[in-house]
Amino acid sequence: MPHEMPDASPMDAYWMPFTANRQFKRAPRLLVKASGMHYWSDDGRQILDGVAGLWCVNAGHARPKIVQAIQQQAAEMDFAPPFQMAHPKAFELADALTRLMPAGLNRVFFTNSGSESVETALKIALAYHRARGDGTRTRLIGRERGYHGVNFGGISVGGIVGNRKVFGPMLGGVDHLRHTHDPARNAYSVGQPAHGADLADDLERLVALHDASTIAAVIVEPVAGSTGVLVPPTGYLQRLRQICDKHGILLIFDEVITGFGRTGQAFAAHTFGVTPDLMTVAKGLTNGCVPMGAVIARQAIHDTFMSGPEHLIEFPHGYTYSAHPLACAAGLGTLATYADEGLLTRAGELQGYFAESLHTLRGAPHVIDIRNIGLVGGIELASIPGEPGKRAFNVFLDCFERGLLVRTTGDTIALSPPLIIERAQIDQIVGTIADALKRTA
């Protein structure tokens, strides 16, 4: 029998992800119920959700069509093997998803998370070049301060130092573009910053260094979320697309955060008018209800693999839970909810009010920059000397005690509320943060 420690706590066994475990377990923050725009804590307090769970609950919590779809599917069929077999809802969801995509993105490979979507997209890019007889293209280009999940491929092309430094050597053959954060020229931009399109030309530097014949793909977040909400400068993504086309490099958009209405249109590719060759999605695909992700590819990329004997597997990759029946049901219920309520464009309708409200915090204690687009915002705070991240964490704790859930990354407060938010709730979010800033040392 396992040996029980005499001072064991019921919380000891759970090693929590991306959490200050010791601090949390001294003063737990437990959520026990959710509906609409709110959570409820274990002590009965109502908590306004300012971050859509974790950038994912875009339609709000406990939406009837999604809940019913999951319940019905669980009763009908709990699992179907995805290798050499399938079930109808996998095809139905893939088709529905492609109808939301920019023209040309019409082949869907299902995964279980954003991290798996990134791994899959990187493997598709490498295998695609090999399949077309261009096997020297093995190099992957990410971007400083980029976040692409936590698997080894994702942290290799990612550029958040804290997510990389303790894990030893990354994948070989990876390099990084400069990030786009330029507070000296772009502080307090409303929407896209005016300066910085030229930063895309850093890809030309990497092409000159490595030679285009070695580069398979470039992966970027259209809006970098987890690093603190970095909105692309006007013209930056367009220039990156041009350079990739010039040198035969695939462009991958990581839309795990920006997808499904966050930037004002269905996807950031629509918002910025740039279509990638591969797109990764997750989070809002199922409204966070059942884990699921996907890679959407151009048909020409997919078709390159469709050669050789028909009985052989064309792309040796996949997951036991790819296109899981419950996830597909949740995805169909989610897309139906988005369509019924016009949620994929609601951020565009509210972004003016959201931006105006958010920028009233300019001049508040400790605020050094504010960034926003659609219904996503970042409020950057001056760090406490010698204690980076602590000031924003203090604001996070203060807000939670007063009925608001926000997210922090470093010393940036990140906001991404459910798309069903009303103006009065935007006022509540901004007012609660303003009061917390006044109380925070």
- The three state secondary structure string of 90-144 is HHHHHHHHHCCCCCCEEEEEEECCHHHHHHHHHHHHHHHHHHCCCCCCCEEEEEC
Q: What integer pLDDT is reported at residue 329 of this predicted model? A: 98
Rounded to the nearest 5°, which phi and psi values hold at 57? -90, 65
Is residue 39 over pLDDT 80? yes
pLDDT attached to residue 7: 63
Q: Provide the 8-state DSSP code for 38.
A: E
Residue with tokens 């269905």: 266
Measure the CA angle with vertex 77, ends 73 and 79; round to 5°.
110
Task: Describe the strand order of the beta sheet including 38-41 as a list of residue ranges.
Answer: 31-35, 38-41, 46-49, 404-405
Dist CA 343 CA 259 (whole Å)? 12
Asked if the model's pLDDT at residue 180 lies above 50, the reply is yes
Q: Given CA atoms 128, 129, 131, 136 in this order, what sign does their dihedral have?
A: negative
- Band (pLDDT 50/70/90 cuts) for residue 80 is very high
Distance, CA of 428 to CA of 366 (rounded, Å): 20
Report whether pLDDT(3) > 90.
Answer: no
Task: Give the contacts of 120 (CB within 8 A, at least 6 positions apart).
Answer: 109, 111, 280, 295, 317
Is residue 88 exposed (0-12), middle (13-18) or buried (19+ Cβ within 10 Å)?
Answer: exposed
| DSSP-based three-state secondary structure for 167 | coil
Mean pLDDT calculated for residue range 78-92 = 98
Averaged pLDDT, 190-215:
98
| The pLDDT of residue 307 is above 70 | yes
| H-type alpha helices, 285-381 | 299-305, 325-341, 346-358
Looking at residue 33, what is its pLDDT? 98
Structure tokens given for 3: 């040996």
Neighbours of 371 (CB within 10 A): 30
The secondary structure of residue 371, as a DSSP letter, is: E
Q: Which residue has the tokens 């772009």?
A: 186
Q: What is the pLDDT of residue 10?
A: 87
Angle between helices 325-341 and 64-76 (to 10 degrees): 160
Structure confidence by residue, pLDDT tens digits, 324-376: 999 999 999 999 999 999 999 999 999 999 999 999 999 999 999 999 999 99
| Structure confidence at residue 8 (pLDDT) | 66
Report the candidate in 229, 205, 202 with the shortest Cα–Cα distance to residue 413: 229
Distance, C-alpha 420 to centroid of its chain: 19
pTM confidence score: 0.96
Residue of 417, 420, 428 whose CA lies nearest to 376 = 417
- DSSP reduced 3-state for 255: coil
For 349, phi then psi, to 5°, come to -75, -30
Mean pLDDT along residues 112-122: 98
Reported as a single tens digit per residue, the pLDDT across 45-56 is 999 999 999 999
One-letter amino acid identity for 166? V
Contacts of 64 (CB under 8 A, 6+ apart): none
What token pair was written down for 223? 């809006």
Alpha-carbon dihedral sign for residues 261, 263, 266, 267: negative
Average pLDDT for residues 417-435, to the nearest whole number? 98
The answer on pLDDT for 24 being more than 60 is yes
CA distances from 382 to 146, 157, 367, 411, 430 (A): 21, 28, 6, 7, 18
Tell me the chain's radius of gyration from C-alpha atoms.
22
pLDDT grade for 1, boundaries at 50, 70 and 90: very low
Q: How confident is the model at residue 153 (pLDDT cuts 50, 70, 90)?
A: very high
Under 8 Å between Cβ of 292 and 110: yes
- Domains of the chain in sequence order: 21-62+343-439 (3.90.1150.10), 66-341 (3.40.640.10)
Contact 39, 52 (CB under 8 A): no
Q: Tell me the mean pLDDT in the region 239-244.
A: 98
Q: What is the mean pLDDT of residues 280-290?
A: 98
pLDDT band at 5; cut points 50, 70, 90:
very low
178: part of which helix (H) or strand (E)? none
